[in-house]
Amino acid sequence: MAKSILLINGPNLNLLGTREPSIYGTTTLPDVIDSATAQCDRLSIKFTHIQSNHEGVLVDRIHEARGHVDAIVINPGALTHTSVALRDALVGVDIPFVEVHISNIHKREAFRHHSYLSDKAEAVICGLGVFGYEAAIDWVAKYVEVKGNARL
């Protein structure tokens, strides 16, 4: 069972709750983090989180996670559809990850239908709103085994 999870949120997710609420809902990112923190506490999982609007900052954080994190839950935001660098970082550190999208990207503009990450993800959750984060953490807790001595 995973003992440490890193949650990553990409560009514009800092606006969650006020940004296009008809698509992304009214729950704020701090509320998402608070819920995920409590969920991980209940599951005895060490939890950390980063949100950044900068691709290189997220790449650096993924590199830093190697050897310290058992699994990553990532909503890459728009980098989903553009970032080979993010894909390469996730594959390069060999940490299992679950891809989360608040909206159902397959019901939206065509340019959102492709992800540079999905074929490397353990699972992809989209369209469940912010519940997708909770579902991803629950799944990771149940099905992702600790690799070596990975700890935060």
Ligand X SMILES: O=C(O)[C@@H]1C=C(O)[C@@H](O)[C@H](O)C1
Assess 5 for contact with ligand X (CB under 6 A): no
> What type of residue sits at position 149?
N
- 4 touches ligand X by CB under 6 A: no
From the list 63, 101, 106, 114, the catalytic residue is: 101
- CA angle, 145 then 151 then 152, to 5°: 125
Alpha helices, H only, the chain? 21-24, 29-42, 55-65, 84-93, 131-143
In the annotation, is 24 catalytic? yes
Query: Which residue has tokens 């629950």?
Result: 138
| Residue 133 and residue 73 in contact, taking contact as beta carbons nearer than 8 Å | yes
Q: Which of 77, 98, 136, 141 binds ligand X (CB under 6 A)?
A: 77
From 4, 51, 52, 75, residue interacting with ligand X (rule: CB under 6 A):
75
103 binds ligand X (CB under 6 A): yes
Identify whether 143 is a catalytic site residue: no
Q: Which residues are catalytic?
A: 24, 101
Task: Please give the annotated binding residues for substrate, written as ranges.
Answer: 75, 81, 88, 102-103, 112
